[in-house]
Amino acid sequence: MKLWLTSACALLALALTPLVATAANANGNDVILPDGSVYQLDADGAYHWIPDVATANAMHLDWSSLQPVASLDAPVGDPYSSTTASSAPAAFSTLTSVVPADGSDVLLPDGTVYQLGSDDEYHAIPDVATANAMHLDWTNLQLADELPGPAGDPIASAG
């Protein structure tokens, strides 16, 4: 009876565990949808949602190489499991007020993105959630080997 109860509890725990894919390293097949959602196309032929910036960074995702797409052209598989304790979507977190992107956004070779502020200093955009809240146009970033001016304080994170 004890063995049966233990087995039944283990099966129940397994059944109640959410289905998620284990995040692998980024493979260059990473896309971003208009709503800012980021997915990776894997060898299984399915796209897997990358739930947060921490997970994407742990995967070594190259933010500057995201392919903007209007929609996914393959099935959607299980999302990757988050590397953070909380994987609630950014829409459910408290957002700070952000300055909208204005087209003066610079992408450096290391993948960091800066925006020229009204103070004539370049301010780092700390994460994708903030960039999306700013409505940054990922396809219209100015590529630069280095900042064309002085660096100021980073923009406060919206995510």
Share of the chain above pLDDT 90, in %: 17
What one-character DSSP code corresponds to residue 31?
A: E
Tens digit of pLDDT for each residue in 97-110?
567 778 888 988 88
Average pLDDT rounded to a whole number, residues 52-62:
78
Residue 60: how many CB atoms within 10 A of its CB? Answer: 9
**What pLDDT digit, counting tens, does each position of 5-33 carry?**
344 444 433 343 344 455 567 788 889 88
Q: Is 28 left (phi over 0), alpha (psi -120 to 50) or beta?
A: left
129 vs 145: which has the higher pLDDT: 145
As a whole number, mean pLDDT of residues 111-115 equals 88
Please indicate, yes or no, whether the overall pTM of this predicted structure exceeds 0.85.
Answer: no
- Distances from the Cα of 82 to the Cα of 49, 62, 71, 78, 152, angstroms: 10, 18, 23, 12, 31
